[in-house]
Amino acid sequence: MRAMVLTAQGSPLRLEERPDPQPGGGEIRVAVGACGVCRTDLHVVDGELPDIKCPIVPGHEIVGRVDLIGPNVTTHRIGDRVGIPWLGYTCGICRFCRERMENLCDRPLFTGYTRDGGFASHTIADARYAFPLGDDGDDVSIAPLLCAGLIGWRSLVMAGNAERLGIYGFGAAGHIIAQIAKWQGRSVYAFTRGGDVVAQEFARRLGAVWVGASDDAPDRPLDAAIIYAPAGELVPAALRAVRKGGRVVCAGIHMSDIPSFPYALLWEERQLVSVANLTRQDGLDFLKVAPLAGVKTQTTAFPLDQANEVLSKLRTGQILGAAVLRP
Ligand SMILES: [Zn+2]
Ligand SMILES: [Zn+2]
């Protein structure tokens, strides 16, 4: 197999030839058709997340076909198309697993972070955490649904029944969730990095009723806002934009420090919450909703060995929608 490998955080990925991996009990091997590049991969590579397994193959938006099945797997057959998300394993016995909060498991494994992921021709997955995808749609278009879509979905659910919904950061997650929010009958307010007319035009095309820079005030107070960009200064900006009792959801795994802000921004029962990871139920729910809502992802595909260039483009905001690697 071929893989793009991170050997030390902060250094570029290296293309390696490795022996083909063999699935253990309960595992499947997947021939990767496409793997999306998520901002979390950037945090992994840049050393912004703790306790990484190194060397590691990043990538957790994997679409591929099962090409080998380990012992004790009855749920998948060779040739099945599956999606492998960020959540790669949970312990099943900690209090969070037992109380239907497996996203907060005490002993989890995460794809492309603490177990090898999809920036590769092949990967091994725990069969219980590989979603059946069926045969509709192409691998590249589906890949961004596996994290941007899925964790975006969890953040949208957490935003409650907000009618006027702000989206801060209109990238991979933002552009998927805007389509679902619109389909649900909500009004989407898109906030982009100041002056990014390309992203603003993109948001308008996807049905946003209002677009502006991230420090602009919306024309009316929002019911809720979701922050996808990893910039702490967006927290007070979003709290300022929501109404009394409104909610701000931080959807990223990493964010720069939040600047101090007057208590008045939180007062009047505004809420500030974060989203961590996903549950398998989120995945099943979202993969059902996305086709109903007619979600169309905007993707640009690159060959696997260009992973470093793609990460640089993502870092500097040069990707419209989502980037996807094809091994
Ligand atoms: Zn657990
Ligand atoms: Zn991700």
Considering every ligand atom shown, identify the ligand nearest to the alpha carbon of residue 108 and give its number: 1
Per-residue buried b or exposed e for 91-115, using 16+ beta carbons within 10 Å of the residue's own CB: eeebebbeeeebbebeebbbbbbbb
Q: What is the pLDDT along the chain (327 residues), one digit of tens a residue?
A: 999 999 999 999 999 999 999 999 999 999 999 999 999 999 999 999 998 999 999 999 999 999 999 999 999 999 999 999 999 999 999 999 999 999 999 999 999 999 999 999 999 999 999 999 999 999 999 999 999 999 999 999 999 999 999 999 999 999 999 999 999 999 999 999 887 889 999 999 999 999 999 999 999 999 999 999 999 999 999 999 999 999 999 999 999 999 999 999 999 999 999 999 999 999 999 999 999 999 999 999 999 999 999 999 999 989 999 999 999
What's the CA-to-centroid distance between 146 and ligand 2, angstroms?
8
CATH fold of 149-274: Rossmann fold (3.40.50)
Task: State the distance from the centre of ligand 1 to the C-alpha of 277, rounded, in angstroms.
Answer: 13
Considering every ligand atom shown, identify the ligand nearest to the alpha carbon of residue 102 and give its number: 1
Distance of alpha carbon 28 from alpha carbon 73, whole angstroms: 8
From the CA of 49, the nearest ligand is 2
Q: How far is the CA of 245 from the centre of ligand 1 (A)?
A: 33
Phi/psi for 129 (5° steps) reads: -115, 20
The SS3 assignment for 234 reads helix
Centre of ligand 1 to C-alpha 167, Å, is 31
Task: For 137-175, give the secondary structure using H, E and C.
Answer: CCHHHHHHHHCHHHHHHHHHHHCCCCCEEEEECCCHHHH
| Structure tokens belonging to residue 17 | 């030839």
What's the predicted TM-score (pTM) here?
0.95
**What are the extents of the domains in the chain?**
2-135+297-326, 149-274
Ligand 2 center to residue 194 CA distance, Å? 24
What is the Cα–Cα distance from 128 to 97, expressed in whole angstroms? 14
Architecture per CATH, 2-135+297-326: Alpha-Beta Complex (3.90)
Ligand number, closest to the Cα atom of 106: 1
pLDDT for the residue 196: 85
Distance CA 189, CA 166 (A): 5
In angstroms, what is the span from residue 87 Cα to ligand 1's centroid? 12
What are the distances in angstroms from CA 14 to CA 1, 67, 125, 301, 314? 14, 25, 22, 19, 18
Cα 96 to ligand 2 centre (Å): 21
Q: How far is the CA of 171 from the centre of ligand 2 (A)?
A: 12
Quick one: which of 196, 190, 144 has its CA closest to 316? 196
Question: Which numbered ligand comes closest to the C-alpha of 44?
Answer: 2
Identify which ligand lies nearest to the alpha carbon of 277.
2
Ligand 1: centre distance to CA 101 (Å): 8
What angle, rounded to 10 degrees, do the helices at 148-158 and 172-183 form? 50
The predicted pLDDT at position 194 comes to: 81
Tell me what percent of the chain is helix, strand and coil, each rounded to the nearest 5: 30, 30, 45
* Sheet order of strands, 271-274 included: 210-213, 187-192, 164-168, 222-227, 242-250, 271-274
